[in-house]
Chain A
């Protein structure tokens, strides 16, 4: 879209608080920050400022990546980890979104569930790994359970807060227009809070990646986390770096997908 007005408004100029940046400048700055981190990395490793056993050069990392993909079926690790993350995330979402809506909208449901969830969410999901291994074993469901343990209570509480952001005025006016009390959640509160809920989902998906990697470091035989912990044992630091980069890139891709979805669905915002 071309801007009819090229001049910048004083209160939203780039350097003012809450100011705006043109899309191009934004991209340039974002690329610059990536490049800067990369440059520092390339410099300190290539100049030998750090021990190559602990931090590989970018070239060595690329070499590791090639080996991982071609000889050590790294693609399969990525697939497995992504599958676990998405399963854990989806199961969490399918439960947390509707229950979170009810918790946010109905005071008795809130009283029943909110304090309990607030308690549970402070229990570190990773601390459940030993217990889950005992209960479930070390197969897929255990990994997914860890992700659900970490994501579901958080997401539920976030959705509840999102629901409570809907102005009460909107609910009231909908009643005067004939909305039934039993339908106001569906017709007013849900559509009004949907953009916030989508944003909460985006945040939670990011956390799910943390949990999967930890879960894969204990009692696993596949996945990015498994590859990384194996590489640590064999002192192949390049592989660890490839693992980190892979997780970062996957996260970025999913984040972009969510932002795209937001643009497509919520033109009204």
Chain B
């Protein structure tokens, strides 16, 4: 890939102050993410995936090191980096339609164009019928799909996804994976996605970053050398299964380490 670098993560660490001492959430992490690349981050729970994503979003600053976007240090959140959170973050006082329109409204898009774009993305995530519903009337998976539609509709240069499909059933989940890839192909953008699902990572990403258990750091980066026009059937391709086996082993090693640590302590 001859693309230019979008994000440079340079020796980034993160500590959180605790009641006693500090918690080392991330050991030094260095990573370059290219323009319009799809990167997936895998790792055991608590290894600092969300923390890394939050630093990319600009919500929290690295303790040491720095993160550059197009060569400029990230100092705060911005509309160039859309985000789908692990938790539910729809605006409860707005209908589903208004939620999806929100980003477009901030961009001063004209009202009818806004409504049309929102409808299009609600259709993409399969929630046409719920435009006038309020978030409290939706299931967890539906809320998450609206959040995805809201982030996609704003069409940011980059998307940060924190387990966006975690609350979805298997069918909806693979459907959403394909839809997200479709949107990404149509509107290329740099995507960094945290997930627990190895298959999902291989299916969607150009590169997969596997992290060590806490304190997190990069264990291995895997280039997913599969054709980019992936469809459902690739999931049973021998090459796909090889990746899966390999990553499974890496994750297993890490969880074993956690287990031994717990026994030793």
Interfacial residues, chain A to chain B (CB-CB below 8 A): 167, 169-170, 172-179, 188, 191-192, 194, 266-269
Which residues on the A side are within 8 Å of B77 (C-beta)?
Answer: 172, 175-176
Considering the complex, give the chain A residue whose CB is closest to the CB of B58: A175
Interfacial residues, chain B to chain A (CB-CB below 8 A): 57, 59, 76-79, 81-83, 85, 87, 89, 91-94, 102-103, 106-107, 134-136, 147, 150-151, 154, 156, 160
Instruction: Tell me the minimal C-beta distance from B180 to chain A in angstroms.
Output: 17
Q: Within the assembled complex, what's the spacing in Å between the Cα atoms of A172 and B89?
A: 9
- Tell me whether A169 and B89 are in contact (CB under 8 A): yes
- Tell me whether A173 and B154 are in contact (CB under 8 A): no
- Tell me whether B135 and A268 are in contact (CB under 8 A): yes
- Tell me whether A178 and B93 are in contact (CB under 8 A): no
Which residues on the B side are within 8 Å of A169 (C-beta)?
Answer: 85, 87, 89
Q: Within the assembled complex, what's the spacing in Å between the Cα atoms of A247 and B154?
A: 53
- Tell me whether A268 and B89 are in contact (CB under 8 A): no
Q: Within the assembled complex, what's the spacing in Å between the Cα atoms of A20 and B94?
A: 26
Name the one of A176, A188, A191 contacting B81, with C-beta atoms under 8 angstroms. Answer: A176
- Tell me whether A178 and B92 are in contact (CB under 8 A): no
- Tell me whether B92 and A268 are in contact (CB under 8 A): yes
- Tell me whether A267 and B134 are in contact (CB under 8 A): yes
- Tell me whether B107 and A178 are in contact (CB under 8 A): yes
- Tell me whether B85 and A269 are in contact (CB under 8 A): no
- Tell me whether A176 and B136 are in contact (CB under 8 A): no
Which residues on the B side are within 8 Å of A172 (C-beta)?
Answer: 57, 59, 77, 83, 85, 89
- Tell me whether A177 and B134 are in contact (CB under 8 A): no
Instruction: Tell me the minimal C-beta distance from A178 to chain B in angstroms.
Output: 3
Q: A176-B81, A176-B83 are in contact. Are A170 and B89 (CB under 8 A)?
A: yes
- Tell me whether B106 and A178 are in contact (CB under 8 A): yes
- Tell me whether A177 and B92 are in contact (CB under 8 A): no
- Tell me whether B93 and A177 are in contact (CB under 8 A): no
Closest 6 CB pairs between A and B?
Answer: A178-B79, A178-B106, A177-B103, A175-B77, A268-B134, A173-B89
Given contacts A175-B78, A176-B83, A268-B92, 6 further A-B contacts (CB under 8 A): A172-B83, A173-B83, A176-B77, A177-B82, A266-B93, A268-B94
